[in-house]
Amino acid sequence: MDFANLPAAPTAQFGPEDFPALLRKRGIYPALPVQAGHAPFLQTEATTILAFKFAGGVLVAGDRRATAGNLVVYDRADKVLEIDRFSLMAIAGVPATAWEMARVLEHSFQFYRRSQLQEMSHEGKVRALSKLLRDNLGLVIQGVGVVVPLFATFDPLLATARLYFYDAMGAQFEAADYAASGSGSGAVRSILHYENTWGARPLRKRNEAEAVLIALRTLETAAETDTATGGVDRRGRVFPIVKIVSEKGIVTFSDKQLSKIFKEKVS
Amino acid sequence: MIEEPYRWVEAIANRREYIEHQLGGGSPIVALSFKEGIVLFTLGRERQKLFEIYDRIAMGAIGHPGDIERLRMMALELASTEGFVRSGDDVSLRRLATYSLSSVLKTAFEQIYGAPYLARMLFVELGRGDLPDLFLRLEYDGAIHTNGGGFGRAFEEFGVLSGNASSTAQMTRFLQEQNFANVSLEKALRVALEAWTVGHLALGAEDSMELPSSATIALHAEEQLTAASIEAAVLDRSTSLPVTWRLLTDAALRPLLQSR
């Protein structure tokens, strides 16, 4: 037997590789090639997404419009994505990159749970998105793949839903009360600040019905001045996406529920 | 010397004997279809033996923990990358087992200068829509046994795995005689415990075509339950989520199974 040519003992590592590393090893990591110089073209990006803490967890909402320059590309885009049973990611930025990022993230959490036989920690999930954003830096510098997401997830250790926002380079910030991203976020942040500070009660004390109403009215206000944010298309019955994260998991509001609130309290 | 065909066959036979001996003490694993999905069941004392592989695929294994881990990761990586690149609906147990795992196991088994995998696995897949559930046993040499109807064999709603062939045969015989179509989870778990007990009794016994009496089964099950921990998991057909795997805890199951 040829003992000289036996394979070397593998170096120990802390469990199997993470999912993005596995994708890279197989050459299927969904990254676009980065080239020197700019290739400016109209990209699908502007939007409004918002999230805030209320009495029943964290509410995450987003409009449905996807634009490229002054063109409306799509009016039924879903920008609030369920990553796992207790995590929501809302995306503002280039959909091509953002949706793929959400997909990698979703598969990463599943792969971690299945391979390590335990759920990824709260901190680990928050960091995972940060890493994906940093990996995307090349495209950000070229100006073609900017993604600025919000991430809301239930922290089982603190028994509370927590909210994070990111910048395009992957810095993560925990929001105390609310966060917004996208072209309509200026208006949204103003309203949420006003409501939180001088409203009838702080946002954290609002109940579910109040919270949904605030989200719908705020998005409607953003759509008033920002062409890239879609308002409600009542004829087409297209409503914003509104979801809640809490200890019970994720709750999605149906178009029927939203339609009723709209008719009574928004329009 | 190994270039001589006879020596090669002899080496393979020795290797088979060695592996069978190593796997001989493995605690049986039972999987069966019930009303809301598939339940996987075993009793154990040490490490976890039932694993989630993908949205609708699970696995149970006996053997060396290092080898089980390598094979589990292989299945997991293949399923996860396929599910990512295409879609979760494209991940199929039939493809995973026949195109990937079986040939890897066979190659390792027949490369007699390398180490074979000391593992025997039972894979289950929850059928999509009206398709039946798939139960697939994968041997250390790459051989595949499924629940699909074969010559003189009806389609089975279960899959079993055990340390040796006679124990596996006894469990199969026992489950063929049971009627558990559309039963509740609680009933399915009881049938699974009985089938496990039949398999466990057969591990130490002489080869026999006779099934033990129900009193013997009940007594042995009761004895074993006190000495071991219960491990069970469900692939849930009723959930609206893509992930169907749910691990059941010993604490939740013990009252159901001991209150007889």
Identify the residue with better confidence: B2 or A126: A126
B interface test, pick of A111, A116, A254 with most B CB neighbours within 10 Å? A111
- pLDDT (mean) for B42-50: 89
- What mean pLDDT is predicted for residues A141-154? 88
| Residue A143 confidence class, pLDDT cut points 50, 70, 90 | confident
ipTM for the predicted complex? 0.91
Rounded mean pLDDT of B98-119?
94
A200-216 residue pLDDT tens: 999 999 999 999 999 99
Give the residue among B14, B22, B62, B12 at the shortest CA–CA distance from B162.
B62
Residue A79 lies inside a defined structural domain of this protein: yes
Residue at A23 is within a domain = no
Of B52, B73, B85, the CB nearest to A28: B85
What pLDDT score was predicted for residue A34? 66
CATH class of B28-61+120-258: alpha beta
Question: How many CB pairs below 8 Å do chains A and B form together?
Answer: 35
Length of chain A: 267
> What ranges do the domains of chain B cover?
28-61+120-258
**Residue A7: inside a domain, yes or no?**
no
Q: Given CB atoms, is A175 within the 8 Å cutoff of chain B? A: no
Of A66 and B99, the structure prediction assigns the larger pLDDT to: B99
- At A42 the pLDDT is 46
Question: What total number of domains does chain A contain?
Answer: 1
Contacts of B77 in chain A (CB under 8 A): 16, 22
B52 to chain A, closest Cα gap in Å? 6
pLDDT at B173 over 50: yes
Task: Report percent pLDDT > 90 for chain B.
Answer: 82
How far apart are the C-alpha atoms of B208 and B72, rounded to whole Å? 33
According to the model, what pLDDT value does residue A244 have? 97
> According to DSSP H, which parts of chain B are helical?
5-23, 65-85, 93-95, 102-110, 165-177, 185-204, 214-227, 250-258
Residue A117 touches partner B, C-beta closer than 8 Å: yes
Q: Given this model, what pLDDT does residue B206 score?
A: 77
> At a CB cut-off of 8 Å and minimum separation 6, what does A198 contact?
none
Test A23 with B53 for CB contact under 8 angstroms: no
Closest residue in A to B114 (Cα) is: A6
Range of the domain at A251: 45-266
Cβ contact (<8 Å) for B77 and A22? yes
Read off the pLDDT band of A234 (50, 70, 90): low
pLDDT tens, residue by residue, A17-56: 789 989 988 888 887 666 655 555 445 557 899 999 999 9
Q: What is the CATH number of the domain that holds A108?
A: 3.60.20.10
